[in-house]
Amino acid sequence: MKVKIIAAFSIFMISYLFVPVGSYAGTEVSDIITMENKAYKSHDKGIVLFTHKKHIDEYKAGCGECHHDENNKPLNNLKIGDDVQNCIECHKEPEYIKGKAAKGLSKEDKRKYHANAIHDNCKECHRAFNKKKGFKSKDKGAAPTTCKSCHPKK
């Protein structure tokens, strides 16, 4: 009996080991994604709750405005249920590089860092939206561009 349980447990653990890290197995898409990537040793900033579904349904963002392939070609025909690669699979460094450390690096070099790639994607659209609407970053209805408006206080 004991042996059976151990065997079953081992199989369970082994199957766990083979779950591909980073790529989602499709179908399941949370309406709100907790942006707490496990590749980071720790998060200095408050964890961002990203309203994935709202961005698609209410803010009318197309899949290809955020998801692209290995050549940066937008994945415009992605469907809920498709397998999606995590940003970290290509923007591999779990870090936000800035200040002195980032000096001299091109935009592209900086986007090897996960948080820089994410920030570029989110903030570029938010800035364009605010500009179009004539919003200042602190106005009600503005899309978030300041640290505090995305990262809640820890």
Q: Name the residues that contact ligand HEC, by CB under 6 A.
A: 24, 29-30, 33, 35-37, 40, 43-45, 48, 50-52, 54-56, 59, 61, 63, 65-70, 72, 78-80, 84-91, 96, 108, 111, 115, 117-123, 125-126, 129, 141, 143-147, 150-151
Query: Would you say 8 or 32 has its CB closer to ligand HEC?
Result: 32
User: Distance (Å, rounded) from C-alpha 109 to C-alpha 72?
Assistant: 14
Shortest distance, position 86 Cβ to ligand HEC, whole Å: 4
Shortest distance, position 139 Cβ to ligand HEC, whole Å: 10
Contacts of 147 (CB under 8 A, 6+ apart): 45
Shortest distance, position 5 Cβ to ligand HEC, whole Å: 33
The neighbouring-strand residues paired with 80 are 82
Query: Would you say 89 or 105 has its CB closer to ligand HEC?
Result: 89
Cβ atoms of residues 58 and 77 within 8 Å: no
Query: Would you say 102 or 123 has its CB closer to ligand HEC?
Result: 123
The neighbouring-strand residues paired with 113 are 93
Query: Would you say 45 or 105 has its CB closer to ligand HEC?
Result: 45
The 3-state secondary structure of 82-139, one letter per residue: ECCECHHHCCCECCCCCHHHHCCCCHHHHCCEHHHHHHHHHHHHHHHHHHHHCCCCCC
Shortest distance, position 36 Cβ to ligand HEC, whole Å: 5
